[in-house]
Amino acid sequence: MDIRGRRLRQQNEKVTRFISSIRFDGAIAKEVLMVNQAHMVSLVRSGEVDRRVGARCLRFLESASTEVDPSSVSEDYHQLLEQSAVDTLGVDVAGYLNLGKSRNDQVATALRMHLKLVLAGVISAAVQLQDALLDKVQEQGALAMPGYTHLQHAQPTTLAHHMFAYFDPLERDVQRLFDAYQRADASPMGSAALAGTSVSVSRREVATLLGFASVVDNAMDGVSSRDVELEALSCFAVTMSSLSRLTEELVLWASKEFSFVDIPDEYAATSSIMPQKKNPIVAEIARAKSGSVFGALSAALAIVKGLPYSYNLDLQEVTPHLWQAAEDTSASLSLLAAVVRGMRFVPAAISKSMLDDFSTATSLANYLVKEFSIPFRQAHAIVGSLVRDAGAEGLSLEEVAAKRLAGAVRAETGRRIAVTEATVRSVLSVESSLEGIVTQGGSNPRFIAGGLRARSKTVKSSRKRLSSLRSRTGSSERALTRAVRSISREVNN
Ligand code: ARG
């Protein structure tokens, strides 16, 4: 018997292929089976379906395949599964599978279940990258390096400070992903098509069997909403925007002009014509993937926008964007983690880049304020004039300031100051500039150890949280299997 029913004549195959989700249903096939199982368990428990009938349905579901042939001519896996149950068990038995449920609540539920799994994967990959950044801090964190604004040398910083500046937004990404997980953790099952159902199924029981923390209260909301999917996509997009800045810097740093970093050969490619080339391919592709993920988010937003309530088949088109974006995000994060772990910063090139770069000028201005009570704006002008001279004469700021600081102060303020050349040189050194930083979160190397400790703790606690979410999922899956078996073992089919 064709489960399409009697209302319509046969569908044109071209139409079926056009409107079908079968190509991307493989991702949620396992979850769809579980939803069918939990729903049938509840129908049997409430007495809506005869125990022997339910047992045979559950038997079938236990052995049903989650391999979805993407070339099958079917609207979706939901239909394929039910049709195959009817073909195998007959309609007298399998005809009860869809009592009190719809593909609408079924797909919304399966999507959330799979999304939880996928979110956990992305979080885990983000934490890997965080961990790799901390590895670099441990190895080479105290290395002084130029800090940039406008891609111009601005003030000295340390490698640790720079790596922490990547770690911290990733930590916010991780927190956002955990938040998205929590909002995904509610079951739409029992919403049926949109109105709920006159069939007695316990929504709570089904939700618990499927590992959800709660149920989506309103049945129309349950089948219509995709905000949870949009939130996840937004989290992926923001994470990829964080990542794209790191990848961009890796590409720059690996260039001849910078030569700050040596990327491990396993993560580089050469050219088919230029034998000398070593291209930072992983960073490039990850940088590009951020664009694909932003595209997925805007596609999904545009699909959902303006849809009348409740379910519309348009919603189906969100799904492939969601999985693709999750895969791109998670692969980019974990490959970048490997690159970061394996790469080495090149101290000689980095310190060479800081020679005569004027990047400690601010320290000298601050010194004039502190030592001689010169207003900062005037101190800024004094040091600025010295930098201009140094630039014009091709000299270093140290040299010019050592000789002419007092004169420049006199010219700007009319005051006489006494300062030794050695003092000026020491104020302008990278080391004393870094050590002079006193504010929290600044680049003083004294802050590295504490920063490392605090951040190692967050990595640990994210991993703990992740493993407790995963073990919750594992134990609810086992509970579902037990519930199914306790009914299905009553028949031998
Ligand atoms: N295949 C659909 C999806 O992935 C679910 C089916 C809902 N279809 C329907 N006619 N109610 O969203």
Residue type, 27: A
Same domain, 337 and 314: yes
pLDDT mean over 153-168? 97
The count of C-alpha atoms lying within 13 angstroms of the C-alpha of 298, restricted to the half-sphere facing its C-beta, is 5
Q: Note whether residue 31 is domain-resident.
A: yes
For residue 319, give the ligand 1 atom closest to its CA: 4
pLDDT in tens, 11-60: 889 999 999 999 999 999 999 999 999 999 999 999 999 999 999 999 99
**Contact yes or no for 219/194 (Cβ under 8 A):** yes
Residue type, 57: C
CA of 108 to the centre of ligand 1 (A): 9
Q: Is the CB of 104 under 6 A from ligand 1?
A: yes
Q: Note whether residue 395 is domain-resident.
A: yes
Q: Tell me: pLDDT of 8 over 90.
A: no
Q: Tell me: pLDDT of 131 over 70.
A: yes
pLDDT at 91: 97
CA of 102 to the centre of ligand 1 (A): 9
Domain at 95, CATH number: 1.10.275.10
pLDDT in tens, 404-454: 999 999 999 999 999 999 999 999 999 999 999 999 999 999 999 999 999
Radius of gyration of the chain (CA): 31
Q: Is the CB of 434 under 6 A from ligand 1?
A: no
Domain at 411, CATH number: 1.10.40
Same domain, 96 and 115: no
pLDDT band at 492, cuts 50/70/90?
low
Range of the domain at 265: 104-144+158-197+213-352
User: What's the sign of the alpha-carbon dihedral 364, 365, 369, 374?
Assistant: positive
Same domain, 115 and 55: no
Q: Which residue's CA is minimally distant from atom 3 of ligand 1?
A: 316
Total-model pTM: 0.96
pLDDT at 44: 98
pLDDT in tens, 247-274: 999 999 999 999 999 999 999 988 888 8
For residue 75, give the ligand 1 atom closest to its CA: 1
Domain at 122, CATH number: 1.20.200.10
Round to whole Å and give the CA distance between 14 and 231.
Answer: 34
Round to whole Å and give the CA distance between 479 and 488.
Answer: 14
Per the prediction, the chain carries an average pLDDT of 96
Q: % helix / strand / coil in the chain, to the nearest 5? A: 70, 5, 30
Count CB atoms within 10 A of the CB of residue 492: 8
Q: Tell me: pLDDT of 493 over 60.
A: no
Proportion of the chain above pLDDT 90, given as a percent: 94
CA of 311 to the centre of ligand 1 (A): 9
Pocket probe for ligand 1: among 22, 104, 114, 223, the residue whose CB has the most ligand atoms within 8 Å is 104
Question: Which residues are known catalytic residues?
Answer: 150, 271
pLDDT in tens, 359-417: 999 999 999 999 999 999 999 999 999 999 999 999 999 999 999 999 999 999 999 99
Q: Note whether residue 271 is domain-resident.
A: yes
Work out how many domains the chain is built from and give that number: 3
Q: Note whether residue 382 is domain-resident.
A: yes
CA of 107 to the centre of ligand 1 (A): 7
The count of C-alpha atoms lying within 13 angstroms of the C-alpha of 322, restricted to the half-sphere facing its C-beta, is 28
